[in-house]
Structure 1
Amino acid sequence: MPGPHVVPVHGDPDLPREVDVVVIGGGIIGASTALELAEGGLRVALCEKGGIGKEQSSRNWGWVRISRRDPREVPLMAEALRIWSGLDQRIGRDTGYRRAGILFTCATDLQYAQHEQWNRNLEGYQLDSRMLSQREFKDMFPGADMPLKGALYTAADGRAEPQKAAPAIAEAARDRGAHVLTECAVRGIETSGGAVSGVVTERGPIACKAVVLAGGAWSSLFAGNLGIDFPQLKVMNSVLRTKPLEGGPEQAIWHGDFAVRRRQDGGYTIASGHENIVDIVPKSFRYAWSFLPAFRKEWRSLSFRFGWRYFDEARIPNRWAMDEPSPFEYNRVLDPVPNRKLSDRALAAARRAFPVFAKAEIAQRWAGYIDVTPDAVPVISAIDQVPGFFMASGFSGHGFGIGPAAGRLMADLVTGRTPLVDPAAFRFNRFSDGSKIELISGF
């Protein structure tokens, strides 16, 4: 079965003629933005070219973490932890959220010192996060066989179910009056006097005064058709899930060789702790200079490959008219073939560390495309070139956990409310205003 099974969301049959805001993209970022706007009393249309949550929002690890994030994301993620804690009650649906804690293991004294230094970013947030000694780690996991110096343990972190969360949030947005439109690609934006006046979808036009692009890995292509250059590439991560397994760790654990997270169904999501694949595509050359510092820093964790993906993307037009089918109508869901070698290697490492995983049976594999920016920090911003156009994309593998707060911040920017946090770090024009673009946390 390709891709994980996502809770289905049935789209509305009728297209609204006019709304206040159109949100493009039905992942957790778009759904959260739609929910926040609808709760604020705005008329909203959430337009998704495929199904709600069918791409990376359902294919990620399901971690809800503040630990080891880029420091620029920490204030927003602190708000996300607060939102997640009451989200299920607020929306009346199950996202699978649980505050279970996350550990980042330290194999060397240097790693221990780096994690200890990072943890100072949480000073003042009153969050339960501390360094564990080697002995404390062994006491927490008495059956583990891992030669470690210790670990960063953030009990305030948690987990949720990617296959449930975005659909639950989208349905809650619909409860509050939002239109949820699936298999309804937005071909482009219409303007009047240079400002947003509507969108054209494959099913017809919708008049509006603001548009939020939350298109994940598709955002650069969409923006490019408007003449807006968004430096974004894709990194592929492969995942497997196991059948229910008793006796495994309750906390999510990151190690250099594997990452594990207990699932609501009793199984585990397992992936490599650091290995990802980068397909060389035409945009790899276009954005090579922008991403060079990041690739230099992350080269040990990235496997570059040249294959059919290059030719698949070379055939995608960079420009199209709104009276003809767009590229988004020819590829409803990005569903890459997982790399079995990477996930098998991760499972083998997990079995060495935790003997209980020797009994683990693989239930399914999948892969997903992480949309990354040169500094691995998202864009949550107005786009000055087109008044009324906003972007919430480029979450670089960190989007699931921060999604509810990113949606609230995006809604603040659209409505002109006081922002949830200072949005300066997420501004779009940092890529063109001479700002130093620096990768801190990695993809």
Structure 2
Amino acid sequence: MMRFPIHEGTPVSWPGPHPAEADVVVIGGGVIGVCTALYLARSGLRVVLLEKGRIAGEQSSRNWGWIRQQGRDPDELPIMVEANGLWRELASETNVDIGLKTGGVTYLASTEKAMADYEDWLPHAQVNGVDSRLLTRAATAELIPGMSRTYVGALHTASDMRAEPWVAVPALAGIAARAGVSIVENCAVRELDIGAGRVIGVISEHGRIKAPEVVLAGGAWSSLLLRRHGVALPQLSVRATAAATEALPMVYPGGAADDEIAFRPRADGGYSLAAGGFHELFVGPDAFRALPKFLTQLRADPFGTRFLPGAPHGFPDAWGTPRSWTADDISPFEKMRVLNPKPNKGKLKALTRDFAALFPNIGPVRIKAAWAGMIDTMPDVVPVVDRVAALPGLTVGTGMSGHGFGIGPGMGKVLAALVTGAEVGHDLARFRLARFSDGSPMRLGPAL
């Protein structure tokens, strides 16, 4: 069985070579890039998907595996509702069991303020036909029996789902390949090919691809490539630690989180565990550049981020990572094929302790695998999904802010429509790139 999450030692499934021409090149083989390529191919276009390391090698195989509508930004929610249906369709198009289950998602409220926040969000669910509801103290205890802790109540969405990310995203890539997408792993894009002021293709480490349209879905690496071409994007990346336990008795078939821990059952009989509301930022040059844009977020949640003095060598915002290079240079993307941060050992101990304490009758909690991922995040905690006015022919889908896995098929369909000029079907004003430069006030999402 493949070791999870996907890493640089994972065998290459799509070695290439890539063609010399295409209608669209998609940069980045995470869930957003894979789904975008799939829907572009289904529109009849010749599509090349280039991934510097492995398909789903970074955050797309390291996330919690939640496919949730609950707690979404109101502008994301309609896309997420569509994504829920797309996940079911896509799961039926592969003979790979991606672990797709409808078990619900529950946010456990430790305080009355948390319950008030959930109640404030509820009208957004109702407008979009989502079955979210508030639970009383007694109903919460009945939904998840055996907890040692009593909660004020909860927000619960029964129709929310889960899947195994490290299986699901490569399975989606298989669907895309069968639809005609040329997928090439271990192939970094060194720079965009620009002619007469517009994008005319890309220059990869293996050569040039002529294409009138390019989609950048590079996750934590997106801002580095954009800066190389003079486009400023205030995107940062934060480290999040997660773990998988050995097999344990079933305590709840869905995903749940309180202010300390998040958990959901896995297809292998264990649980995925993560720290609720905690992440770490390695401070680098981009962090200083983007600080003014992030002040609103920092004031709203001053203790949700732990600051670390510097990123490891080769990380996108490490002090020594080049910000400029030529097409003949080995790029930063080749020097680090897979962004594979070490997990926070202290948090791993806390996760084991907290899960065992919350369910005292579950038995010994043993970790069989632990990892971390770098989540690409934006100052207002919603992504950039837009055409780039300064570089005609370029479309960007990045900064999913920890929301990318579940919404992936929906955002992929949206990005494909932006490229082809088809009807998007959703209001994307909230996700425009210019919001960071046109004087718009910073409006935070609900961050639930």
Identify if the C-alpha distance between structure 1 residues 356 and 404 changes in structure 2 by more than 3 Å, giving closer, same or farther: farther
Query: For 1:283, what is the secondary structure of its paired residue?
Result: helix
Whether 1:399 and 2:404 are equivalent positions in the alignment is: yes
TM-score (norm 2): 0.95
Whether 1:4 and 2:5 are equivalent positions in the alignment is: yes
Q: Which residue of 2 aligns with 1:287?
A: 290
Q: Distance between the aligned counterparts of 1:166 and 1:296, measured in 2?
A: 35
Query: In the alignment, is the contact (CA less than 8 A) between 2:144 and 2:251 conserved in 1?
Result: no
Q: Distance between the aligned counterparts of 1:171 and 1:311, measured in 2?
A: 30
Q: How many Å apart are 1:3 and its aligned residue? A: 6.1
Q: How many Å apart are 1:347 and its aligned residue? A: 2.5
Name whichever of 385-394 and 90-99 sits farther off.
90-99
Q: Deviations over 1:136-170 (max 9, x none)?
A: 11222231122211100100111011101221111
Q: Which residue of 1 aligns with 2:359?
A: 354
Q: Which runs of 5+ in 2 are unaligned?
A: none
Query: In the alignment, is the contact (CA less than 8 A) between 2:65 and 2:406 conserved in 1?
Result: yes
Match of 1:364 among 357, 366, 369: 369
Q: Which residue of 1 aligns with 2:326?
A: 321
Q: How many Å apart are 1:310 and its aligned residue? A: 7.8
Q: Distance between the aligned counterparts of 1:347 and 1:255, measured in 2?
A: 15
Q: How many Å apart are 1:125 and its aligned residue? A: 2.6
Query: For 1:337, what is the secondary structure of its paired residue?
Result: coil
Whether 1:428 and 2:429 are equivalent positions in the alignment is: no
Q: How many Å apart are 1:343 and its aligned residue? A: 2.5
Query: For 2:76, what is the secondary structure of its paired residue?
Result: helix
Query: In the alignment, is the contact (CA less than 8 A) between 1:3 and 1:365 conserved in 2?
Result: no
Whether 1:143 and 2:152 are equivalent positions in the alignment is: no
Q: Which residue of 2 aligns with 1:210?
A: 213
Identify if the C-alpha distance between structure 1 residues 311 and 331 changes in structure 2 by more than 3 Å, giving closer, same or farther: closer
Q: Deviations over 1:35-75 (max 9, x none)?
A: 01011111000000000000000011011111112222111
Q: Which residue of 2 aligns with 1:158?
A: 161
Q: Deviations over 1:67-110 (max 9, x none)?
A: 11222211111111111122211345432211110000111222
Q: Which runs of 5+ in 1 are unaligned?
A: none
Whether 1:13 and 2:16 are equivalent positions in the alignment is: yes
Q: Distance between the aligned counterparts of 1:311 and 1:266, measured in 2?
A: 36
Whether 1:305 and 2:305 are equivalent positions in the alignment is: no
Identify if the C-alpha distance between structure 1 residues 38 and 113 changes in structure 2 by more than 3 Å, giving closer, same or farther: same
Query: In the alignment, is the contact (CA less than 8 A) between 1:281 and 1:310 conserved in 2?
Result: no
Name whichever of 81-90 and 267-276 sits farther off.
81-90
Query: In the alignment, is the contact (CA less than 8 A) between 1:12 and 1:179 conserved in 2?
Result: no
Match of 1:440 among 420, 437, 445: 445
Structural mapping, 1:214-225, within 5 Å: 214-225=217-228
Q: Distance between the aligned counterparts of 1:307 and 1:430, measured in 2?
A: 28
Query: In the alignment, is the contact (CA less than 8 A) between 2:214 and 2:394 conserved in 1?
Result: yes
Q: Which residue of 1 aligns with 2:233?
A: 230
TM-score (norm 1): 0.96
Counterpart code for 1:55:
E
Q: Which residue of 1 aligns with 2:179?
A: 176
Q: Distance between the aligned counterparts of 2:367 and 2:314, measured in 1?
A: 32
Structural mapping, 1:30-179, within 5 Å: 30-179=33-182
Q: Distance between the aligned counterparts of 2:188 and 2:126, measured in 1?
A: 44
Query: For 1:212, what is the secondary structure of its paired residue?
Result: strand
Q: How many Å apart are 1:357 and its aligned residue? A: 4.1
Query: For 1:359, what is the secondary structure of its paired residue?
Result: coil
Moved over 6 A (4+): none
Q: Distance between the aligned counterparts of 1:395 and 1:423, measured in 2?
A: 14
Identify if the C-alpha distance between structure 1 residues 356 and 271 changes in structure 2 by more than 3 Å, giving closer, same or farther: farther
Structural mapping, 1:200-279, within 5 Å: 200-279=203-282
Q: Deviations over 1:326-359 (max 9, x none)?
A: 1101000111110011122122222221124442
